[in-house]
């Protein structure tokens, strides 16, 4: 299946952490030029090297996506450099408190994760949409989470932020649809990686008194396919929704979770 992404410009937030590198690499391998948006430009250097090796253009811009003014300046810089932005992929996000019930969640922790996971995506969408509307073309992919579809004990703040992102995605899809702009949400379940291994698994080990291997197995057993997602699984879903192969799909949540949300 030909995705026809060669030469497109993709703005990607959080490109260097968590699932970010796998998603960014996937777009570059499809021939996309990339605007890399994040707070840690040092961490983006391997991606810049990869872009050079793949013969695609890449621009790294330091930006805190919770700062609306900074996002406006970042997007203006990207538009000046590339001329347009065809695709926005909002990967940047956080996990918030893990294993903490709602009544023990501090207002500060709640506000922090809502600002990052909801307002951060709102800021980037608000900054990129006017030029997409002017060109009558664009693709926006927000990376949400299945805890924003079913909820999860001990993850209230995170779940709230991802439920909110679904609303942002669906409402904007309705508003942007008449301008030939697709807005969708990829909803990963647990994704194997540093955050899963260093934050989620230790919390389960402590709560259940199990080993690391047992904790991973318990998570995998919750999914219909009996396995935990890899970052590449999420990257492939993002590519699909950013391409014209999915031109008639907008306002949807696409779980990439091995079947957890369906059970």
Q: Are residues 134 and 219 in the same domain?
A: no
Whether residue 98 lies inside any domain: the answer is yes
158 an active-site residue?
Answer: yes
Q: Are residues 198 and 71 in the same domain?
A: no
The domain total for the chain is 2
Give the contacts of 85 (CB within 8 A, at least 6 positions apart).
9, 10, 11, 35, 75, 78, 79, 128, 131, 132, 138
Q: Are residues 244 and 197 in the same domain?
A: no
The pTM is what?
Answer: 0.93
Give the contacts of 116 (CB within 8 A, at least 6 positions apart).
65, 66, 92, 93, 94, 161
Q: Which domain holds residue 207?
A: 192-228
Q: Are residues 20 and 104 in the same domain?
A: yes
For residue 231, what pLDDT is reported? Answer: 95
Residue 262 in this model has a pLDDT that exceeds 80: no
Q: How confident is the model at residue 200 (pLDDT cuts 50, 70, 90)?
A: confident
Q: Are residues 106 and 222 in the same domain?
A: no
Whether residue 27 lies inside any domain: the answer is yes
Sign of CA dihedral 233, 234, 237, 238: negative
Q: Are residues 157 and 239 in the same domain?
A: yes
User: Among residues 81, 158, 179, 223, which one is catalytic?
Assistant: 158
Q: How confident is the model at residue 2 (pLDDT cuts 50, 70, 90)?
A: confident
Q: Are residues 152 and 197 in the same domain?
A: no
pLDDT by residue (tens digit) across 148-161?
A: 888 888 889 999 99
Q: Are residues 84 and 173 in the same domain?
A: yes
pLDDT by residue (tens digit) across 34-93?
A: 999 999 999 999 999 999 999 999 999 999 999 999 999 999 999 999 999 999 999 999
For residue 263, what pLDDT is reported? Answer: 62
Whether residue 60 lies inside any domain: the answer is yes
What is the rounded CA–CA span in Å between residue 70 and residue 169?
22
Q: Are residues 51 and 149 in the same domain?
A: yes
Whether residue 99 lies inside any domain: the answer is yes
Q: Are residues 18 and 47 in the same domain?
A: yes
């Amino acid at each position: 299946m030909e995705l026809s992404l060669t030469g497109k410009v993709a703005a990607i937030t959080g490109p260097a952490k968590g699932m970010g590198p796998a998603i960014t690499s996937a777009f570059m391998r499809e021939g996309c030029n990339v605007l890399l948006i994040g707070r840690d430009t040092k961490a983006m250097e391997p991606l810049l090297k990869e872009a050079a090796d793949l013969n695609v253009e890449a621009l790294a811009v330091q930006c805190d996506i919770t700062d609306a003014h900074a996002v406006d300046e970042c997007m203006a810089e990207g538009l000046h450099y590339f001329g347009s932005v065809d695709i926005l992929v909002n990967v940047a996000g956080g996990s918030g408190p893990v294993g903490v019930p709602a009544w023990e969640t501090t207002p500060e922790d709640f506000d922090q994760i809502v600002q990052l996971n909801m307002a951060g995506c709102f800021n980037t969408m608000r900054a990129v949409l006017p030029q997409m509307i002017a060109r009558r073309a664009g693709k926006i992919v927000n990376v949400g989470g299945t805890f924003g579809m079913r909820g999860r004990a001990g993850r209230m703040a995170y779940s709230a932020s991802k439920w909110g992102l679904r609303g942002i995605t669906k409402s904007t899809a309705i508003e942007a649809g008449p301008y030939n702009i697709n807005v969708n949400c990829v909803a990963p379940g647990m994704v194997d990686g540093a955050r899963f291994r260093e934050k989620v698994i230790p919390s389960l080990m402590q709560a259940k008194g199990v080993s690391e291997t047992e904790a991973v197995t318990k998570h995998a057993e919750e999914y219909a396919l009996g396995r935990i997602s890899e970052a590449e699984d999420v990257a492939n879903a993002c590519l699909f929704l950013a391409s014209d192969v999915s031109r008639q799909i907008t306002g949807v949540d696409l779980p990439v979770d091995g079947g957890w949300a369906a059970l």
